[in-house]
Amino acid sequence: MNTVLKSMRPSFLLLTPICVLLGGSFLAYNQIEVNIFYAFLATVGALFAHISVNTLNEYTDFKSGLDLMTKRTDFSGGSGALPDNPHMLNWVLLTGVVSLLLTSFIGLFFVWQFGLAILPIGLVGILLVITYTRWINRIPWLCLISPGLGFGVLMVVGTQFILTGYYTLQSFVIALVPFFLINNLLLLNQYPDIEADKKVGRNHFPIAFGIDRSNVVYGLFAIATVVVISIGIYLSYLPAMAVIAFIPMPLALLVWLNMVKHKESIASYPQFLAANVATSLLVPLLLAISLMISEI
């Protein structure tokens, strides 16, 4: 069971409740009562989706031989669960499939409650889980934005819809913040595995366009995060208190400067990979807190 748990990448799962919290914070800001049961189901469904994509990724990477070629860090190269215990391969696959089915059942419950309006969120989410490792990683631009689409837009907007029964432009604006940051999170984590990824046929953004252009994209996404929050405050989609979300952003600048300096060797400096993770978690968390303690 330790192998299965390790393949879930539990240290990464914290991202999911933060994104769900950000979607739910919309209700607090707009003084809308929260259905606790729906909020619980939304969180559980999102967690199972995250577990599914992690375990299916572990399974596929081991089957392709990638896990045996990467130099593992705390942030890249896989968990190492299956290379250490290859006999657990089918159990990891089963965990991914069952987790996806549980997410689907929860999604069907919400379709029953709200009708077909929630269906596009669910279908796109399931499609991302199923196709990310095997196909999306071979399409550079789609691979670049898929993490932010899944964790940012789908989770944030989906949670807001589940708790209110309708879509709002405000939640889409809020969702852009984790969209840009989580794209950057996965983008940097691809740097240490570029050569290994090439050998198994992956063609993500750093492989297709190189480190220098990837660094530019990281910088633009970081700037876009600041711009979105600023515009959101100006248009009153976000409270003035949302300026607290800027507090971790100097970490993104620190990360970018060292990406430019160290390029593919960034894995030798895990403190910058850690700073990238911290930015991706803390900015949405502080944004959610600002929404919850403010009133429209």
Which has the higher per-residue pLDDT, 46 or 79? 46
pLDDT in tens, 247-271: 999 999 999 999 999 988 888 899 9
- What is the tens place of the pLDDT at every residue in 67-110? 767 676 666 656 667 777 888 889 989 999 999 999 999 999 99
Average pLDDT rounded to a whole number, residues 212-226: 97
Structure tokens at 135: 């196909």
CB half-sphere exposure, 92, CA atoms < 13 A: 29
The 8 Å CB, 24+ separation contacts for 273-276 are 273/73, 273/74, 273/75, 273/76, 273/188, 273/189, 274/74, 274/75, 275/251, 276/75, 276/184, 276/185, 276/188, 276/189, 276/251, 276/252
* Cα 22–chain centre separation: 13
The amino acid at residue 113 is Q
Lowest mean pLDDT among 38-52, 58-72, 210-224, 263-277: 58-72
Q: Which pLDDT score, from 0 to 100, does residue 78 have?
A: 62
Q: Where are the chain's structural domains?
A: 2-293
At which residue do the structure tokens 């940012």 appear? 152
Summary mean pLDDT of the chain: 91
pLDDT attached to residue 258: 95
pLDDT at 296: 63
- As a whole-number percent, the residues of the chain with pLDDT over 70 amount to 95
Instruction: Determine contact, residues 245/290, Cβ cutoff 8 Å.
Output: yes
Confidence of residue 202 (pLDDT cuts 50, 70, 90): confident
